[in-house]
Structure 1
Amino acid sequence: MKKSNNTKWMNYSKLALALGALTVVITACSGNSNNTAEPATTVETTTPTTTTEQPTASTAKLTAEDIPTALLKGQYKEVYAQFSDNFKKQITEKDFISSAEASLQSVKKFNKAADMEINDADVRSWVSDSGDLGLNVTIDKQGSILGLQAKALAPATTTDKVTTKNEYAFPFKGDWFVFWGGNNALINYHYEYESQRYAYDFIQRKDGFSYKGDPLKNESYYAFGQPLYAPADGKVVSVLSNIPDNEPVGKMNPKVPAGNEVVIAHANGEYSVIGHMKKGSALVKVGDMVKTGDQLGLVGNSGNSSEAHLHYQVSDGADLFKSKAIQIKWQDGSKPVQGETITAK
């Protein structure tokens, strides 16, 4: 979700940005931050060159994992050669090289932040050794680079150390995929916005896809119509359930960005916000007392949403856009990030 004067949430199924250009070219929810945890993997790199000379030509295509090393070795032409035709229309080779040199000149290595495979695309993210630059690549099964992004990161070091006082259960059951989540702008676009900094966007995924059948129909998406549950005891303070679900899928409703939602007040001044619910599915009303695990309604595709998914966050107030998000302390002790699958019972 994204707050602005027009209260707009970013569309969320595809993701790909040009180095330095930051132009979205395929779908996704997004975020800005820096991971506070130690990265799991270090990508071998060398100090980037200041020239555009290329090594001996190779017929082998770069994999997603090869991209950081190739960039830091100055293999810009080789990387650009794998850009998809659509991506090349958005940025010239000359502009790409110039932007890459400027963005990466002080980076010595990249540490892996997250990776995910969704709808035939492989999305990988890394954070620089200094922690102030993120790198993201989206590549298809044929090795074409659909998008590439270098993004300045500004960690919220104070709030990153704070978690909710209450513990929360996941508001769903079964297997759910983290599309946006974590303390990094590349893996959680919400992070740039204080009101949504620690929000999550969850989808369901089977065999690498979030849907089966006609991608323009809500019913094709595995998440659509799945039950949602109260993540903790509390009192329902806000319910909206009359907003139509967006169809064809991809058409969004920025006038009511959260779509159908339920807001629950918990102990210690904390509030759960559950958004994008299915029209007419809310099973609770304002004033109802709920217990952890009580069903609230169904997942939908209402509001400024590009695909059926659940937006969930905990805030310090009932008004989503006038409050501040709080990092969630999950009951199971986990710290989910983009690309991970959660199994909730």
Structure 2
Amino acid sequence: MYTTKKIIPLLLITFCLVTHTLSLFAQSKLAIDKNIKEKPFSFPVQMEMRVPFTPTAFQNGSKSYLLYELYLTNFSNSDIHLQAIKLLNEKMVTAKEVALFDSAQLVNMVQTFGESSAFANKLIIKGGQCVIVFMEIAIDRKNALSDKLLHRLITQNDSLDGAVINTHNTTLQTLVPPVKGTNWLAADAPSNDADNHHRRGVVILNGTAINSRRFAIDWKKVRNGVSFSGNSRDVQAYLCYGQPVYAVANGRVVKAVDGLPNNIPGHGAQFHPAIPLTFERLAGNTIVIDLGNGHYAHYMHLQPGSLLVKKGDIVHKGDLLAKIGASGDAREPHLHFEITTSLNLLLGEGLPYLIEQFWLHKPNGELTELRTRELPTDEQIVDFKR
């Protein structure tokens, strides 16, 4: 048996061994810690990411599309080098990205501002600078589009998550077409082309950046890819001139302007408006219909003397409204048609919509299958009810 005299020395020996071991461990840890360089504190990237108007997906062919603008403002004093933008499902940010735009793609998506913007490297956002990234997301319709998407900004040295957007912000209206017949070219229709003057049509009004033309279409009739036959300076030579336009849905006329003359057709230096242009005259002879739910249908550049409706009239889907002309800021006869959130010119945000049905031309001129509840995109040629 162990006696008290034997136990006390054993406890003292054990205590000494444990103390020595802990001392060695502490010295070892201290030596290791001295070799570790502490990562310097890094403040989050001082970039504001903002989507002023939340998008709504629309369909064309096998894809669902989102078109919107992402504003980036550098709040730091240093340049920020943009390298990529990822779109992620907000609920599964670790999953594969929904879309990825690398530097080669972003060069054609970014719009800079200021006196030297034409010569600037678009992917270097200087301190205090704001740029717009014109976003187009195309998703296979077989795949469900996430209700919310998050943007991940990849810079030269860091990354930043932010600007969560809904993908179904407004109810898509299904409309009948504003024109009838065959061989209608959807000019400057929805796309992300840098030369599309509707897509890049951001203006500042009442101190706010707005793009009412985001989904606008200039409807022109074509034959063999040409919109006129004969003298290009004569409005009568244009295939769409005088063609009737129709109410796309039931609604109430909230604006009707008539009496402005046609312009002599001409582009670039050859464009000379028939009367001096003012902000109020840009749309030319115009009709605006309140479709309800804060949606307004705009018909612009109509033929003088052709309007069959006046402010306050109730119209029904398919009613004849007027004829196509070349008034206002029109370089050649066409119907500028758009749906926005305001009855006033350029003051509303452009909204997508769907056309009840149309037939799409193939490049060789043949017709494809009937398209139902879709929105034509840029440069597509379509036939409507014949």
Matches within 5 A, 1:70-81: none
8 A Cα contact 2:58 2:354, kept in partner: no
Q: Deviations over 1:284-338 (max 9, x none)?
A: 0111111111000000000011000111000111112221111122223123111
1:164 is displaced (CA, Å) by: 4.4
In 2, Cα distance between equivalents of 1:288 and 1:36? 30
Letter in 1 for 2:272: K
8 A Cα contact 2:58 2:353, kept in partner: no
Q: Please say if 1:338 is aligned against 2:378.
A: yes
Q: Please say if 1:326 is aligned against 2:300.
A: no
Matches within 5 A, 1:22-61: none
1:128 is displaced (CA, Å) by: 7.4
Please name the residue that 2:6 is paired with.
none
Task: From 270, 275, 285, give the equivalent of 2:310.
Answer: 285
Letter in 1 for 2:334: H
Q: Does the C-alpha gap of structure 1 residues 275 and 159 become closer, same or farther in structure 2, counting only changes over 3 Å?
A: farther
Letter in 1 for 2:226: F
Three-state SS of the structure 2 residue aligned to 1:191 is coil
Please name the residue that 1:276 is paired with.
301
Unpaired segments of 5 or more residues in structure 2?
1-56, 63-82, 85-99, 110-120, 123-131, 138-164, 203-210, 357-371
8 A Cα contact 2:188 2:196, kept in partner: yes
Q: Does the C-alpha gap of structure 1 residues 271 and 294 become closer, same or farther in structure 2, counting only changes over 3 Å?
A: same
Please name the residue that 2:134 is paired with.
154
Relative contact order higher in (CA < 8 Å, ≥ 6 apart): 1
Three-state SS of the structure 1 residue aligned to 2:373 is coil
In 1, Cα distance between equivalents of 2:102 and 2:168? 21
8 A Cα contact 1:195 1:323, kept in partner: yes
Please name the residue that 1:27 is paired with.
none
Three-state SS of the structure 1 residue aligned to 2:177 is coil
Please name the residue that 2:89 is paired with.
none
8 A Cα contact 1:198 1:326, kept in partner: yes
Task: From 155, 180, 185, give the equivalent of 1:177.
Answer: 185
Please name the residue that 1:254 is paired with.
277
In 1, Cα distance between equivalents of 2:316 and 2:60? 36
In 1, Cα distance between equivalents of 2:292 and 2:315? 12
Q: Deviations over 1:40-65 (max 9, x none)?
A: 9xxxxxxxxxxxxxxxxxxxxxxxxx
Q: Does the C-alpha gap of structure 1 residues 293 and 37 become closer, same or farther in structure 2, counting only changes over 3 Å?
A: closer
Please name the residue that 2:175 is paired with.
168
8 A Cα contact 1:162 1:327, kept in partner: no
1:161 is displaced (CA, Å) by: 5.0
**TM-score normalised by structure 1 residue count:** 0.55
**TM-score normalised by structure 2 residue count:** 0.50
Q: Does the C-alpha gap of structure 1 residues 270 and 214 become closer, same or farther in structure 2, counting only changes over 3 Å?
A: same
Q: Does the C-alpha gap of structure 1 residues 301 and 268 become closer, same or farther in structure 2, counting only changes over 3 Å?
A: same
Percent same amino acid among aligned pairs? Answer: 29
Letter in 1 for 2:135: P
Please name the residue that 2:246 is paired with.
229
- Size of the aligned set, in residue pairs, is 215
8 A Cα contact 1:271 1:314, kept in partner: yes
Please name the residue that 1:239 is paired with.
256
Please name the residue that 1:206 is paired with.
223
1:344 is displaced (CA, Å) by: 1.2
Q: Does the C-alpha gap of structure 1 residues 223 and 39 become closer, same or farther in structure 2, counting only changes over 3 Å?
A: closer
Task: From 93, 101, 106, give the equivalent of 1:132.
Answer: 106
Q: Does the C-alpha gap of structure 1 residues 37 and 294 become closer, same or farther in structure 2, counting only changes over 3 Å?
A: closer
Three-state SS of the structure 1 residue aligned to 2:293 is helix
Question: Greater share of strand residues, 1 or 2?
Answer: 2
Three-state SS of the structure 1 residue aligned to 2:286 is strand
Letter in 2 for 1:286: K
Letter in 1 for 2:108: G
Unpaired segments of 5 or more residues in structure 1?
1-34, 41-105, 108-126, 136-149
Q: Does the C-alpha gap of structure 1 residues 160 and 133 become closer, same or farther in structure 2, counting only changes over 3 Å?
A: farther
8 A Cα contact 1:276 1:302, kept in partner: yes
In 2, Cα distance between equivalents of 1:36 and 1:333? 9
In 1, Cα distance between equivalents of 2:168 and 2:352? 8
> Which protein shows a greater Rg?
2
Please name the residue that 2:196 is paired with.
188
Give the root-mean-square deviation of aligned CA atoms.
3.3
8 A Cα contact 2:58 2:374, kept in partner: no
Q: Please say if 1:306 is aligned against 2:328.
A: no
Three-state SS of the structure 2 residue aligned to 1:326 is coil
In 2, Cα distance between equivalents of 1:275 and 1:129? 38
Q: Does the C-alpha gap of structure 1 residues 159 and 219 become closer, same or farther in structure 2, counting only changes over 3 Å?
A: farther
Three-state SS of the structure 2 residue aligned to 1:154 is strand
